[in-house]
Copies of this chain bind each other. A is one copy, B any other.
């Protein structure tokens, strides 16, 4: 019952700011973001001290080095957060943009204007930088935000939110537009996810299990991506140098992220030339190759692959997001077979073809049903910044609202605005004579 009240109170406070936020001028929003940036530097000692508490708790609990690294804040990382705030302040304000406007035959002017979504609940793991990223994007797009970070970073997040709220007070930005779940009681999240009508959308960021738990428990619409099983297809008409570089970049440059590739799909006609070469470089980089029968037989005793770990693939490997220096290899006989493979095993995140053939490239772009589809480039570019959208709130692999990187624009939605000068449907107004005609046909949607 306490969790329920806590959640309700948070959401109600946030909701109350929605109208004020809608009216807030871009100037004030930018001022608040830039003042937050200043305060992060002014109060950096406090941030580092609070972060130290989180680090010590995490160490005591025996968390992994990777997790400790992720939650640590030092001067460099504080400066990165400062930069995010400056970047978001510099982005154009999407709120109030008239997407479209046209005049109907009866003179009615009908348009669509971007408005904020309302109250956004963001649920994330032990990454204090997300506190700043998510809050700044919501503030710039005039959304109220409820921040629920990983419990391992509660001290760091608390001080960051405190700093944001100080900036809000100093710049007349409604303080309650940034709410913080200041408890490690997990039931609060479940209570928040029930508050349809108060919270408009939930965005979980993190591992698949977190995201599934949110999606399954939520009464609120959720925008999400479960995992990034990205595929690279090397066509028989691929340029060999592009193929090698892209296969290398998309796997090796940063293997732990969702837009790195997990499956390498190769046309049989190019497999004998391409696979030993990439195996050589993958071997140097420590990439383990999980191979189907054809590629296994090709590579297992190949001199180029002598320093590469070559193991037989299991079918379940093709579904796996390794997030590691592992790649599953599949040899196919046609582009259609490659697309079928991607449709079956991929997660509709980012997929690429390497080919010099125009028709095959266009077919891949057209038919692969993923958030981002590439010709001749690394899938590692699927990112708000890399696409030129500015900072991102996450990546959606859903089919509604947004696909791919979600930036400021995706935190708004167009509503219809209609300017009239007295237009009446079917011109039925107050009767000039005494005969009144009413259409009483029952209907719900017209």
Chain B residues lying within 8 Å of A102, measured Cβ to Cβ, are 388
Take A430-B244, A431-B284 as given contacts and tell me if A23 and B367 are in contact as well, using a CB distance cutoff of 8 Å. yes
Take A375-B419, A444-B206 as given contacts and tell me if A424 and B245 are in contact as well, using a CB distance cutoff of 8 Å. yes
Chain B residues lying within 8 Å of A255, measured Cβ to Cβ, are 438, 440
Cβ distance A327 to chain B, nearest Cβ, rounded Å: 14
A179-205 contacts to B, CB under 8 A, are 200-201, 205
Tell me the nearest residue of chain B to A205, going by C-beta: B445
A315 CB-CB contact with B under 8 Å: no
Task: Flag the segment in A264-272, A290-298, A398-406 that touches B.
Answer: A398-406
A147 CB-CB contact with B under 8 Å: no
A386 CB-CB contact with B under 8 Å: yes
Chain B residues lying within 8 Å of A12, measured Cβ to Cβ, are none
Which of B367, B371, B416 is close to A22, meaning CB atoms less than 8 Å apart? B367
Tell me the nearest residue of chain B to A375, going by C-beta: B419
Chain B residues lying within 8 Å of A445, measured Cβ to Cβ, are 205-206, 257-258, 394-395
Tell me the nearest residue of chain B to A396, going by C-beta: B413
Bound Cα distance A397, B166 (Å): 35
A27 CB-CB contact with B under 8 Å: no
Task: Flag the segment in A2-10, A29-37, A42-50, A377-385 that touches B.
Answer: A377-385
A288 CB-CB contact with B under 8 Å: no
Contact assessment for A418 and B286 in the assembled complex, using a CB-CB cutoff below 8 Å = no
A169 CB-CB contact with B under 8 Å: no
A157 CB-CB contact with B under 8 Å: no
Contact assessment for A373 and B416 in the assembled complex, using a CB-CB cutoff below 8 Å = yes
A316 CB-CB contact with B under 8 Å: no
Contact assessment for B386 and A425 in the assembled complex, using a CB-CB cutoff below 8 Å = yes
Bound Cα distance A386, B426 (Å): 11
Contact assessment for A205 and B66 in the assembled complex, using a CB-CB cutoff below 8 Å = no
Task: Flag the segment in A51-59, A86-94, A229-237, A246-254 that touches B.
Answer: A246-254
A311 CB-CB contact with B under 8 Å: no
Contact assessment for A377 and B104 in the assembled complex, using a CB-CB cutoff below 8 Å = no
Chain B residues lying within 8 Å of A359, measured Cβ to Cβ, are none
A62 CB-CB contact with B under 8 Å: no
Chain B residues lying within 8 Å of A242, measured Cβ to Cβ, are 421-422
Chain B residues lying within 8 Å of A419, measured Cβ to Cβ, are 365, 374-377
Contact assessment for A424 and B253 in the assembled complex, using a CB-CB cutoff below 8 Å = yes
Take A118-B369, A417-B373 as given contacts and tell me if A281 and B381 are in contact as well, using a CB distance cutoff of 8 Å. no
A443 CB-CB contact with B under 8 Å: yes
Contact assessment for B69 and A441 in the assembled complex, using a CB-CB cutoff below 8 Å = yes
Which of B245, B366, B382, B416 is close to A429, meaning CB atoms less than 8 Å apart? B245
Take A371-B416, A373-B416, A430-B281 as given contacts and tell me if A323 and B442 are in contact as well, using a CB distance cutoff of 8 Å. yes
With A377-B420, A400-B413 already in contact, 5 other A-B pairs whose C-beta atoms are closer than 8 Å = A125-B444, A221-B399, A246-B422, A378-B424, A381-B425
| 9 shortest interchain CB distances as A-B pairs | A377-B420, A245-B429, A380-B425, A249-B424, A372-B416, A242-B422, A200-B399, A377-B423, A400-B401
Binding site for B on A (CB under 8 A): 18-19, 22-23, 66, 69-70, 96, 102, 104, 108, 110, 113, 115, 117-118, 125, 200-201, 205-207, 216, 219, 221, 223, 239, 241-242, 244-246, 248-249, 252-258, 281, 284-286, 323, 325, 339, 343, 365-367, 369-378, 380-383, 386-388, 394-395, 398-405, 413-426, 428-431, 434, 436, 438-446
Between A and B, 17 residue pairs with Cβ closer than 8 Å are A118-B369, A205-B445, A221-B399, A246-B422, A248-B430, A252-B428, A254-B439, A254-B441, A281-B430, A365-B419, A373-B416, A374-B417, A376-B421, A377-B423, A381-B423, A400-B413, A402-B413
